[in-house]
Structure 1
Amino acid sequence: MEFERLKEIVAESRNIVFFGGAGTSTESGIPDFRSADGLYQAAGGGRIAPEEILSRDFFMARPADFYAFYRSKMLYPDARPNAAHHALARMEAQGRLATVITQNIDGLHQKAGSRNVLELHGSVHRNFCMDCREAYSLEDVLASKEECPRCARCGGMIKPDVVLYQESLDTDLLQRAANDIRQADVLIVAGTSLTVQPAAGLVRLYEGNKFILINKSATPMDGAADYAISDSVAKVLSALEK
């Protein structure tokens, strides 16, 4: 009966906000970070922790080593949106979902057709020269034969437009996300451990009573959710829109 109630809530809403993390994309073949099968566990045999490699200091000091890790572990150019991404895009097209707020950098929400997407941690599809700010695509980075891609115009170092450790999130983007969550009548949080700050703290700004939490493992916010579901994000979102 509870799941039928959730379907009614989704069907009746005109201002759903979705907040998602890495678990939204695992069924597209992109590993998450902190689960037993995640990126940090897979890279655990290395001498340098992934958190250090993905830091601003490491990128600036050892860009070639950064890119070796980034290209092999962070880029999935052949990944395609899964049922979760498509369900959210349909909800938006139907006028029920207002905003997708994502911690992911893979661009799969846009590939599925979502238009109002706030990418808190940036995107692998945007890259820029650190000297002249010339823009480059993911395809440009992948096609580069250099250990560290260089700008064709000025020779400067190209950096992915992703938020590294030691870097701050975009304050304007955070404010937009905060405002959307405060105004939401339904908040769906899915595929995130809710341990990364300040992004996870945004969830606490929701003031309504239709907080739906979907995650395979327990999170610090389970007790605060009005409805908590331990299952596949793609499976649940697909079922909720029917």
Structure 2
Amino acid sequence: MSKINQLQKIIDSSNNIVFFEGAGVSTESGIPDFRSQNGIFKSLKKYGDTPENLVSYNYYLDHTEEFFNYYKKNLIFEDAEPNPAHIALSKLEKIGKLKDIITQNIDGLHQKAGSKNVLELHGNIHRNYCQICGKEYGLNHVLKSNGIPKCECGGIVKPDVILYGEPLNNAVLNFSIDYISQADTLIIGGTSLVVYPAAGLINYFNGKNLVLINKSETPYDNHSSLVINDAIGNVFSQIKI
């Protein structure tokens, strides 16, 4: 039996699926992984620093205008569209098999594909808020601003995105743990499972089927029910829902 057929059988027999993803799901929609070697070299040459530092909370505080300059040019891709993985997961949710998506991505493509139950570990570029009065703003307000985006009250409008050096949202983490611990199938896609604390969420899975879909190996391959080393969009484009 092919690995695609094995995945099809697992999905067909499961009623409580949770999907946990990394950057590899978004790269297939044309959003580059800014932590890749190419991204690092590009940022060092153009900005004189690494991506991790350029989107860190300390850099945001100390070099706010430079932060927004980098952020708007390198983390926002307005024209990105959902790929076959996003669309398939939305369909699985609609038929009641997929209970939740837990994502490390900030692009909002799952919602664009129609998914409702999405836990965002690192936030979402489409939500922004004033750090003084708390007023909420959409993405356009940030993109159209010259330099630092400001609120009508004068406060800085910060993206609702977890920057390096900021803690993850405890409520989102706890919900993620609850969903994973109750799932009968956990499908992990587009992540090498080396960045913590997000990667540690896999340890809360007590279900039957652990599926890993990633182009490269992960530290958990030997503990899984099924490993597929392929692009996740290509895999889900072959699944019948």
Q: Quote the residue 2:219 is aligned against.
A: 220
Contact 1:11 1:241 in 2 (8 A): no
Q: Equivalences for 1:44-59 in 2 at 5 Å? A: 44-45=44-45, 46-59=47-60
Q: Quote the residue 2:186 is aligned against.
A: 187
2:8, 2:202 → 1: CA distance? 21
- Encode CA deviations 1:2-27: one digit per residue, 9 max, x unaligned: 42222111012111000011100111
Q: Which amino acid aligns with 1:164?
A: L
SS across alignment from 2:119: strand
Gaps of 5+ in 2: none
1:160, 1:129 → 2: CA distance? 9
- Encode CA deviations 1:41-65: one digit per residue, 9 max, x unaligned: 4324342111111111110111100
Shift of 1:208: 2.1
Gaps of 5+ in 1: none
1:14, 1:41 → 2: CA distance? 44
1:42, 1:189 → 2: CA distance? 29
Contact 1:10 1:241 in 2 (8 A): no
Q: Quote the residue 2:98 is aligned against.
A: 97
Q: Quote the residue 2:40 is aligned against.
A: 40
2:97, 2:76 → 1: CA distance? 31
SS across alignment from 1:241: coil
4+ runs deviating over 2 angstroms: 33-37, 39-46
Contact 2:82 2:112 in 1 (8 A): yes
Closer/same/farther in 2, CA of residues 215 and 41 from structure 1, 3 Å limit:
farther
SS across alignment from 2:89: helix
SS across alignment from 1:25: helix
Percent identical pairs in the alignment equals: 47
1:42, 1:24 → 2: CA distance? 22
SS across alignment from 1:204: helix
Shift of 1:148: 0.6
1:131 equivalent in alignment to 2:112: no
Closer/same/farther in 2, CA of residues 63 and 34 from structure 1, 3 Å limit:
closer
Aligned pairs, number: 239
Shift of 1:40: 3.0
1:175 equivalent in alignment to 2:174: yes
TM-score w.r.t. structure 2 length? 0.95
